[in-house]
Amino acid sequence: MKIDAGRVEAFLKTPGSSNVVLIYGPDGGLVAERAMALVKAGLAGADETFNYAELYDAAWLLEEATAVSLLGGRRVVRLRDAGESAVKPIEALLKTKSDALVVLEGGELTPKSKLRALAEKSPQMACIACYAVDAARLPRALSERLRALGVAIDSEAAAWVGANLAGEEGAIRQAVELLYLYAGETRRLSLADVQAALADGGETSMQEAIDATLTGDTAGTDRALALAFEAGDSPVAVVRILLGELMRLRVLAAQISPGASISEAVAGMRPPVFFKRVPVVTKALGLWNVGSLTQAITAALTAEAACKTTHVPDTAYCRQMMLGLASRARNAGRR
């Protein structure tokens, strides 16, 4: 049974008779957040020590879900990284009389996924999809959230945020909170306001790794990537931000006529480049052309797809791809 987007929040607070809930999608942060909300609702204040089990292997799912709570109350079982191996245990569980709440936390499951199909068709299961907001809808989504808080944002400012922000729920929520606080009593945000408010957010290790890659600094790429991964940034999130930067660079590179000034092209970009990033963008455009940027975009798209598969070491793949791009940019600068 699919849970419509408008009913998700209410369902997470009161899951009702659904004993097995699949939460999946490419927005891993939102998947984890909703799974935890459902766990808390299922426990309803009960002692986690005896009533909660967190698994990474579906082989133990049936045993944990049918176990009797020592202190009474409903048991909650959370299976992380749920995939096709969970189908048979779930089918067996649905035939039992267990009243445990089973929360399945999955990744990006395609329509061909047997687990997703089971969750969507079974009346005993619930299914919640978690998708990131796409770039085209992000400015509007941001404006609507701020409007609900009583804050207006200029269209140019919303476009800039949309172009510089990942569509994951966590990133959007953090940006909205920062912008709401920055707006203060004025209750309005201009382009200069959002650039100032979110400037620190763009100076993370993730952004540093991307900037180092684009400007040919292999050592800086490696160092910043290590810090980003240690801080909990996922390889997929890094690659998506890199893709956005590469695509904007390709648009700029296509606008530069032979013999024209790179600095003039950067100055004329709309939405404008944040002033602290002008040196990075200008240097990158001196190292990359439309052809090489197209190849880099292809490499990044391949990396994103690879990082989403379970058998690929995503951090190592992301690191190798970005170091390869940084090396290419460095060599271009030597010619």
Number of domains into which the chain is organized = 3
The reported pLDDT for the residue numbered 202 is 42
Could you give the angle at the alpha carbon of 115 between the alpha carbons of 114 and 116, nearest 5°?
A: 95
**Claim to verify: residue 16 and residue 104 sit in the same structural domain:** yes
- Which of 198, 213, 232 finishes a domain? 198
**Claim to verify: residue 251 and residue 321 sit in the same structural domain:** yes
Provide the CATH number for the domain around residue 152: 1.10.8.60
**Claim to verify: residue 25 and residue 100 sit in the same structural domain:** yes
The reported pLDDT for the residue numbered 38 is 87
The reported pLDDT for the residue numbered 201 is 43
**Claim to verify: residue 105 and residue 162 sit in the same structural domain:** no
**Claim to verify: residue 229 and residue 213 sit in the same structural domain:** yes
For residues 163 and 248, the answer to whether their CB atoms sit within 8 Å is: yes
**Claim to verify: residue 142 and residue 244 sit in the same structural domain:** no
**Claim to verify: residue 91 and residue 121 sit in the same structural domain:** yes
For residues 73 and 51, the answer to whether their CB atoms sit within 8 Å is: yes
**Claim to verify: residue 101 and residue 81 sit in the same structural domain:** yes
DSSP letters of 158-193?
A: HHHHHHHS--SHHHHHHHHHHHHHHHGGG-EE-HHH
**Claim to verify: residue 213 and residue 326 sit in the same structural domain:** yes
- Which of 198, 217, 250 finishes a domain? 198
**Claim to verify: residue 86 and residue 179 sit in the same structural domain:** no
Tell me the CA distances in angstroms from 282 to 187, 262, 265, 279, one per residue in order. 34, 6, 9, 5
**Claim to verify: residue 212 and residue 328 sit in the same structural domain:** yes
Q: How far from each other are the two terminal CA atoms of the chain, in whole angstroms? A: 59
- Which of 87, 111, 129 finishes a domain? 129
Provide the CATH number for the domain around residue 286: 1.20.272.10
The reported pLDDT for the residue numbered 272 is 65
**Claim to verify: residue 276 and residue 327 sit in the same structural domain:** yes
Contacts 24+ apart (CB under 8 A), 185-189: 187/150, 187/151, 187/152, 188/151, 188/152, 188/153, 188/154, 189/146, 189/151, 189/152, 189/153, 189/154, 189/157
The reported pLDDT for the residue numbered 21 is 92
| Full pLDDT tens readout for the chain, 335 residues | 888 777 888 888 887 767 899 999 887 778 888 888 888 888 876 666 678 888 888 888 888 888 877 666 778 899 988 889 999 999 998 888 888 889 999 888 888 899 999 999 988 898 998 887 777 788 888 899 899 999 999 988 888 888 777 667 777 877 888 888 888 888 899 888 887 777 544 445 788 899 999 999 999 999 999 888 887 778 888 888 888 888 888 888 887 766 667 877 777 666 566 667 788 888 999 899 999 999 999 999 998 888 877 666 888 889 999 999 999 999 886 65
Q: Which domain holds residue 314?
A: 202-334
